[in-house]
Structure 1
Amino acid sequence: MRLAEGLRWRAGRSPGHCGLTTGEQGHGRHGCRGERRRRCPDRRRRADRLRQPPQPTRRSRDLRSRWSAAGRPVVFTRYRNYPGSSFERFFRWSRLLSPPETDIVPELAGQAASAHAVLDKVGYSLFTGEAVTLVAEAGWTDLVLCGIATESCVLKSAADAFERGYAPWVLTDASASDAGSAVHDAGLTVGRRLIGPRQLITTEDLLARLPPTPEVPVLE
């Protein structure tokens, strides 16, 4: 779903071919590619520190409301850990195995219930087999990405979208890192090098160019 060349819609690409993707909406963490209440496996010391939705969570929640109101598709991703996973093996991190930790946080549960899709995944990237099929069948050419953590799930999904020929757009002010602003900024720096500096935009940039109605119907 992307703006390119000075935040203009890509030539030959309709705004209807865009999908907003946000990730990891479980209770277990506030982090990788989506709003969560605690940290990613490599941030254990920050556990239970986040009690209220951070500003990026509120901003992305408002963004989803406006995006959906314009008839645009929203996809949530949710990380689910499993016994013997790489997170257990290398981080010794055994959370997010089952509810309630894997439940969508209350602040976002209503929006997730009406989303185009809620995709479960066992790694950083959006691009599971299910997601690859969904994006291809929907005909999306651009993907707008936001969530937590900027430097892991958001960045990995953006880079994978880039390598698959999609136009990734990262919303810098609707993403964050539970490791702090310095790590968030580092993720954005790497993102600019991986997918191009013009692919990192703000929610204001996006919404200012959002047509009032979709030009292509969203597949349900």
Structure 2
Amino acid sequence: KKLSTFCPTPKVIRCMTNTPVIVREGATVYATGTHADVEDGKLLEQLMTSVGFCTEVEEDLIDAVTGLSGSGPAYAFTALDALADGGVKMGLPRRLAVRLGAQALLGAAKMLLESEQHPGQLKDNVCSPGGATIHALHFLESGGFRSLLINAVEASCIRTRELQHLADQEKISPAAIKKTLLDKVKLESPSLSMASASKVSLFTNKS
């Protein structure tokens, strides 16, 4: 909508990708604007498919995608770091613990994508009756593991919408909003900058 003020018929395609595009395993979605045609979408999809998975979605789903696959690599890295810590706690060398944890996540993801089975079924296949895995899963469930992940996706999605709202109000990007606030604090005298500094702290801590 903003671009239409500068160009009456802008060909705009909005997309959301993630950092694994660096290793050609990214997840990208896109939504075509009013004036972008099918061929424009196909061109972008062809480009982004070369660095991972890419598909078209309705634009109102992109914020949810941001919460899931956009922020998803950070969730995976955090989980992997914790798994490695668990391995180290139980006596494994750090390098080996990280490698085994990463391979477990990679293998699980590949099994899911290639088998197209429900993740719950694949999980059940690992759990022997009365075995170590089901005991470990019970411990995760008692700690609210699923709820934490669901809430994380929701929190990222909500924050994305908040940043977009700020951008719409300021008519600039979220990154520019942050820079403007920081510059304002630098220019003010120390006695006057405390309030602005606290606002910047609150803003940056929630990003």
Q: TM-score, normalised by structure 2?
A: 0.29
Whichever structure has more helix as a proportion of its residues is: 2
Rg bigger for which structure? 2
Higher relative contact order (CA 8 A, sep 6+): 1
Q: Give the number of the structure whose residues are more often strand, by fraction.
A: 1
